Structure 1
Amino acid sequence: MEGVSAMNRKRRILYGANAVVVAVVLLGIFIAVGYFATAYNKTFDFTEEKLFSLDPQTEKFLEELDTDVRVTGFFQKNSPGASRFLDLMKLYGEKTKRVTYRLIDPDEDPATAKSYGITRYGTIIAESGEKTKRTFELTEEAVTNLLIMVTRKGKKRVFFTSGHGERDIRSRDGEGIAFVADDLRGQGFEVEQGNILEKKDEWDENTLVVIPGTRKGFLKEEMKVLEEFIESGGNVLALIDPEEKDYFKEFLDKYGIVYEDGVIIDPSSRIFGGTPIIALVSSYSGHPSVRDFKLASFLALAGGLKTKTGGKGTPEILCRTGRGAWLEKGKLLHSVRFDSGKDVAGPITVAAVSTVPVREKEAEKASGTEKESQEAKSKGESNTSKSSKKEGRLLVVADSDFVSNHYKGFSGNGDLFLNLVKWMLSEEKILNIKPKKPKSSTYFLTPTAKKLWFAGAVVVLPLFIFATGLVTWRIRRKR
């Protein structure tokens, strides 16, 4: 009996020791996992649409960010907006230590809210140095562009010409362009419309001059101003409709861009519910302004362009229609057909750009101004450089309707315009990030599949469980 008792004691001691060792090992594993999870925080997003991850464009920007930015969200503490803000900013914080964030409830801290001029919940403010920008949109696109704007060097300006029947940036009717003007302001650009001769002295390399369609031609003095601006490193984006092309033919010809006679007819637009006078554009070149652009654009009553060598600039094609379109040379009647002996077969170019080397005198002047600017900076003074670029840019689109309030929302029209503006002003960093939406994952069963699922769940599975239990019972009984 004593031997049995001794064996039992040894067994209990052994089991106890094993339990202690296992507990210590498990505790060590939990501590190690907790430490590494905290020190090397890593999340995994297994959703097909990457709903809980930042866009690759945002990640690239954050990797290159070399300035500290603080983002403040003004939300009620327990509101859904506050949770969404913290979840979104956590993703930014995981990618870079340059971005810090905080949540302030205006009701609990009215003094801070007042110091920032907060008048509504949901305001998001980004600060970097002395720069401050704000947005009311709680989306990845809005927050990323807020960071870009607050870390941007210098101000970028988009100047729309007026005085020739151009589309109005204040007008919100179908013919106006207030919607694209709003988009530009939302991207951090300064937007203005005015007379060329009155405002030309305010332009510099950070200015883009946009001709948003006209109803009459420019004065010779105005055309000369545009030429000098381009050739000194400036940027001009001309949206010219076919009926006004004659006003600009000579001007465009100097830079290797030819505006052809005729209007584009595109039967393929009927597939999308359009009419043949609306050109479907889905073919984009490898040029940086449209290289990664994937959306279709729709241009109504657009003209055709072609490029030639021998001008002041180096022209490149940006966008074309499909092969099914053609440039109609005749009158636009109720029914039009392609005339192989008269019309021009597609694809038809609708947008082209010409890069113009800065003239030597202007380059020397720019170089001198740049040195003066650097000296002024070292002395703590400010100096606005007229141009330090090595090239001017003239970009032509053979249509102005696509930016109008009526057509701006058609597929990629608004995004295409923003892409062109960003490239012209060397602001490719500003992003167009489409909101992510979960896809419907509904699976519809065929009648046969329904029967198989029913048989498996109601018949096969219960029988399997019963058979397993029966076999186990018989084995134990034999023992």
Structure 2
Amino acid sequence: MSTVTRRLHGWLFTLLVLLGALAIGYLTARHDHVADWTYGSRVSMSPETSAVLAKLDGPVEIVSYANPQGDLRQTVAAFLQRYRQAKADLHLSFVDPQKDPAAMRNLGITVDGELILHYRNREQRLDVLTERSFTNALERLVRGNDRIIAFVTGDGERRADGVANADLGTFVSQLEQSGMRAVPLNFSQTAAVPDQTDLVVLASPQAPLSTGATKSLVDYVNSGGNVLWLADPGNQDPSLQPLADTLGIRVLPGELVDASSAALGLKDPRMIPLGDYPPSPITLGFTLATLFPEVAPLAEVRKSEWRIAPFLRSSPQATTQSLDSSPANALKGPLDFGFALSRLSPSPAKSEQRVVVIGNGDFLSNSYLGNGGNRALGERIFDWLLGDDELINMPPRGAPDRVLTVSQQELDILSITFILVIPVLLLVIGGIIAWRRRRA
């Protein structure tokens, strides 16, 4: 091959490399492709975030009050890029907060880069930019105004802000991040449920309610109010009988026991595990396992205008036992312990009234909230009671691989590998390298 031909081939090869590089640059500038190989695609946009974006059926305007100096605007834009790819009508704009400090004070802007999200005359502010906080802000946009949830207090109920094992503080704090606001309701200080209340929660009172408190709850139900009643075994309190009569249900005596739970590794038969659920608006599509300790069975005692849908039901192996462990008058499963009640609302302000009664309050407590799908079920219950049906089927929160399960055999293999095999292998490799150097 002549010198000219070799040079021509060299120049042609160089030209082809340059053309290939330009083509790659052109395509990558216009077409993004990202592969996430982590388990459950956990570093990608979560299924929950995607579901919330799908519920926003109109444009979302996001304004970031970020200083143009520095990299903050680029950081915000890069963070929101994948959301804009998932929702084409999500728009981002920037405002320089230094140009009009008085306007920033009027808006309450205190953090450089603070975001204000606008959707259908609704507004949410965000000063911490993470997927969790951004998803919560989007969920609040879907929900609209904050929902006011009044927790009855003063009779030994589970505290909405409590940190004790039996309290609901952990669960309620998570509800508040998604657009709900918990307030106390003490009937020794008020004669009636405030008008702006969206939901009243009666969580396992330990002392009898006063006649006035019971009347206020019954009046609230009769006027169209939504209620969540968590009853525990032994809560056959006569003071609550008027409320039970209004709903047409009864908290049965005794508590559920299920000997078959031992097959799942549960040592206490009073721990009732569930893996499947009767069809209801709350449990539609719900497949997570839940755990209920110390459950009181429920029964529908009369037909009324309420539509009663059982959504928590024990296995056929379950029975009831009295609280003193006496076998007398035991009922055999399957037994219901969760009812979803609905009817046409007596109030002209809404079309449907909803009530949930559950024969257990521990499943949402600080001690048991992390078991299986307890938290996800609780969120579904509150969404249904508040009429936020579009949020009920949201995917559960949390990464799917937070717990590493290793059998004893696998643990033995790992131990031998790291304690014996790898050190010996390193010694052998080191010896071979030293031997070859001596020979050289």
CA contact (8 A) 1:209 1:236 kept: yes
Larger RCO: Structure 1 or Structure 2 (Cα < 8 Å, ≥ 6 residues apart)?
1
TM value normalised by structure 1: 0.67
Quick one: which of 342, 348, 362 aligns to 1:355?
Answer: 342
Residue 376 of structure 2 corresponds to 415
Partner SS state of residue 158, structure 1: strand
Question: Where does the alignment leave 5 or more consecutive residues of structure 1 unmatched?
Answer: 1-6, 367-386, 459-479
> Counterpart of 1:395 in structure 2: which amino acid?
V
Deviates more, 1:64-73 or 1:150-159: 64-73
Task: State whether residues 268 and 280 of structure 1, in contact with CA within 8 Å, keep that contact through their aligned partners in structure 2.
Answer: no
1:55 and 2:46 correspond? yes
Identity of aligned residues (%): 20
What amino acid is aligned across from residue 154 of structure 1 in structure 2?
N
Deviation at 1:344, TM superposition (A): 1.7
Selected match of 1:332 from 324, 338, 345: 324
2:397 is the alignment partner of 1:433? yes
Report what 2:283 is aligned to.
290
Letter paired with 2:254: G
Distance apart, 1:98 and its partner CA: 4.0
> Residues 103 and 411 from structure 1, CA distance in 2 versus in 1: closer, same or farther, beyond 3 angstroms?
farther
| 1:43-442 paired onto structure 2 within 5 Å | 43-65=34-56, 66-70=58-62, 89-99=80-90, 125-128=115-118, 131-134=123-126, 138=130, 140-150=131-141, 152-196=143-187, 197-203=190-196, 207-219=198-210, 222-247=213-238, 248-270=240-262, 271-272=264-265, 274-307=267-300, 310-328=303-321, 330-333=322-325, 342-359=329-346, 362=347, 366=348, 387-389=349-351, 391-427=352-388, 428-429=390-391, 431=394, 432-437=396-401
* AA aligned opposite 1:435: A
Distance (whole Å) between structure 2 residues aligned to residue 435 and residue 116 of structure 1: 34
Cα 1:412/1:435, change in 2 over 3 Å: same
Kindly provide the amino acid, as one letter, of the partner of residue 361 in structure 2: S
Q: Which residue of 1 aligns with 2:435?
A: none
Secondary structure (helix, strand or coil) at the match of 2:366 reads coil
Give, in angstroms, the shift of residue 179 of structure 1. Answer: 2.4
In structure 2, stretches of 5+ residues that fail to align are 430-440
Structure 2 CA distance for partners of 1:435 and 1:102, relative to 1, 3 Å: farther
Note the alpha carbon deviations across 1:35-82, whole angstroms, 9 max, x for none: 4433343323344421332233322332342232437699xx899xx9
**Contact 1:281–1:296 (CA under 8 A) maintained in structure 2:** yes
- Provide the rounded CA distance (Å) in 2 between the counterparts of 1:295 and 1:202: 36
SS of the aligned residue for 2:379 comes to helix
Distance between the aligned counterparts of 2:333 and 2:381, measured in 1?
23
The one-letter amino acid of 2:277's match is Y
State the SS of the aligned residue for 2:354: strand
Shift in Å at residue 164 of structure 1? 2.9
Secondary structure of the equivalent of 1:344? coil
Residues of 1 paired with 2:402 and 2:297: CA distance?
A: 40
The CA RMSD measured in Å over matched residues stands at 4.4
- Structure 2 CA distance, aligned partners of 1:351 and 1:300? 14
Quote the offset at 1:246 in angstroms: 4.0
